[in-house]
Amino acid sequence: MKLINREILEAKAAIDELLQEKMPVKVSWGLAKIGGMLNGVVLCIDPVRQGLFTTYGISVEPQEDGKINVKTSDEEHPQETITKFMDELNELMAKEADFDVEKVAIPMEVDGKALEIKGASLMALEKLITVE
């Protein structure tokens, strides 16, 4: 199965969230294996991503309205620098990694209680899990 880096980062966050839930051993084991595989790629992505921030002098500041403000230390050509940064970041996030992994079947109920999973997490894990 092929995943792009953006999907890997999103799936990693969702897997970490699911691993906090009480699940049958078989499900927890499958999720942990997937999480471990994703970790390996995340460990490769992060230094490259941080290097881009450093190279282009980029800082990101969250705003009260939920948006983010992207700034650069390049005072002469700030928009050009931000555009180059975004182009390279998008290129990094579009790189593919191949995984040999089976989808994990997530139960709809655990101990007679409905398992609640955020919609965003389900979207991020669409290629990695099924819900039964």
Q: Which domain holds residue 48?
A: 2-131
Tell me if 2 sits within 8 A of 96, measured CB to CB: yes
Predicted confidence band of residue 70 (pLDDT cuts 50, 70, 90)? confident
Q: Are 13 and 124 in contact (CB under 8 A)?
A: yes
Domain count, the chain: 1
- pLDDT, tens digit, 9 for 90 and up, residues 74-105: 888 999 999 999 999 999 999 999 989 899 99
pTM for the full model? 0.85
- Please check whether residue 115 is in contact with residue 26, taking contact to mean a CB–CB distance below 8 angstroms: no
